[in-house]
Amino acid sequence: MIKQISLFFVLCVFVSMNTRAQVVEDFQPSPVNQPGSAYPQVNSEGRVRTQIMAPDAKSVQLDIGGVKYDMVKDENGLWTGESAPQDVGFHYYQLNIDGASVPDPGSLFFYGACRYGSGIEVPSDDQEIFAIKDVPHGHVHEIWFPSESTKTDRRAFVYTPPGYDKASSERYPVLYLQHGYCENETSWPVQGRANFIMDNLIAEGKARPFIIVMTYGMTNEISFGGLRNFDIKPFQTVLIDELIPYVDTNFRTLSNQENRAMAGLSMGGFETRLITLNRPDVFSYYGLFSGGVYKSEELSEHENLKLVFMSCGSKERPDGVKSAAAELKSGGINAEYYISEGTAHEFHTWRRSLHQLAQLLFK
């Protein structure tokens, strides 16, 4: 019995030491830190480490990916701690200081989880798809468009491709691109890096230059449990009757169905699906990123449909996307699917999905 206990004790110490030894000490500052901030950092395993001065605190935790990791205080009151390895790509996170949930002051802030809060970038093998390279850059316009139906002026971001402002007469196709639940119109142009993905694809000759319009999908006023009762009409009115006419008046667009696409991530895919089914006359390209699938019978009367694109992370339900694409193809519809390897329901899946879809649009 004593022997067994001793063995168990030795084993526990070994496991504990081994766990410590497994943290690879090659941490680097996250590229989305505040200017000049050394923390948070990420190592080659994808562990996130951060620090904060809190000399009088009893408990500080790093809260990421749904798990809270205890941090440790040194003699100066500086707390340090790290997470388990995270998937590649972008993650929202926060700190808990004696029970208060607050942003980490070391990181930049991003709109997700229904609030502006901390974000971190875990390096990926394909991160150069959204890097800021020495190539011609398009512009991201912040616009405010009038909305009769909501009695407000509403914000959208509009990406125009490199050379748009120089070219005085060229007209461009348009992708309307929606964020997910608890995100907003900043999510695609900021953490989604839609503009840099496009700049790089255009520089490589892999995508036709087009305009991207990103606005708030009015998704966040409902409870997520209330999704079945979600009424698409208010947003459909803003998008179809107010935003599209504003964009077609104020930008040099090709303003017909054949040159108009709609895509969205997660609940933005849900919205894309509903709006394209309600209004088969408006868009010719449909994209659902981790946002459901179409059945061919739903699309039987969609006359000018050029492409259905569906995607998700390999850690989501890739089989559903694959079988839906096969079913659409068997129904005579041009369908493509994409599975993001090693990622879940997060922004890296959706950056990669945009990178794929953009190469297929308007060709």
Name the residues that contact a second copy, by CB under 8 A. 34-37, 52-60, 77, 95, 97-103, 105, 108-109, 114-117, 132-134, 137, 139-146, 153, 158, 165-166, 168-169, 184, 189, 195, 220, 249-252
CA distance 48 to 59: 18
CA distance 325 to 295: 9
At closest approach, how far in Å is the CB of 245 from a second copy? 13
What residues contact 87, with CB distance under 8 A and at least 6 apart? 46, 122, 315, 342, 343, 344, 346, 348
Q: With beta carbons less than 8 A apart as the criterion, state whether 317 and 159 touch.
A: no
Nearer to a second copy, 86 or 107 (CB): 107
CA distance 166 to 342: 40
Residue whose structure tokens are 């070219």: 167
Nearer to a second copy, 37 or 257 (CB): 37
- With b for 16 or more beta-carbon neighbours within 10 A and e for fewer, the 265-288 pattern comes to bbbbbbbbbbbbeeebebbbbbbb
Nearer to a second copy, 251 or 338 (CB): 251
Nearer to a second copy, 4 or 223 (CB): 223
CA distance 180 to 271: 9
At closest approach, how far in Å is the CB of 66 from a second copy? 18
At closest approach, how far in Å is the CB of 221 from a second copy? 9
CA distance 267 to 143: 23
At closest approach, how far in Å is the CB of 43 from a second copy? 24
Nearer to a second copy, 71 or 122 (CB): 71
At closest approach, how far in Å is the CB of 107 from a second copy? 9
CA distance 219 to 211: 23
At closest approach, how far in Å is the CB of 276 from a second copy? 27
At closest approach, how far in Å is the CB of 170 from a second copy? 11
DSSP state of 171: -
At closest approach, how far in Å is the CB of 92 from a second copy? 13
How far, in Å, are 191, 268, 288, 349 from residue 111 at the CA level?
9, 15, 21, 17
User: Crossing angle of helices 194-203/347-358, nearest 10°?
Assistant: 30
Nearer to a second copy, 215 or 349 (CB): 215
At closest approach, how far in Å is the CB of 358 from a second copy? 18
CA distance 90 to 167: 35
How far, in Å, are 43, 50, 102, 115, 234 from residue 106 at the CA level?
17, 8, 12, 17, 38
- DSSP track, 311-335: EEETTS-HHHHHHHHHHHHHTT--E
Nearer to a second copy, 165 or 303 (CB): 165
Nearer to a second copy, 173 or 189 (CB): 189
Nearer to a second copy, 163 or 332 (CB): 163
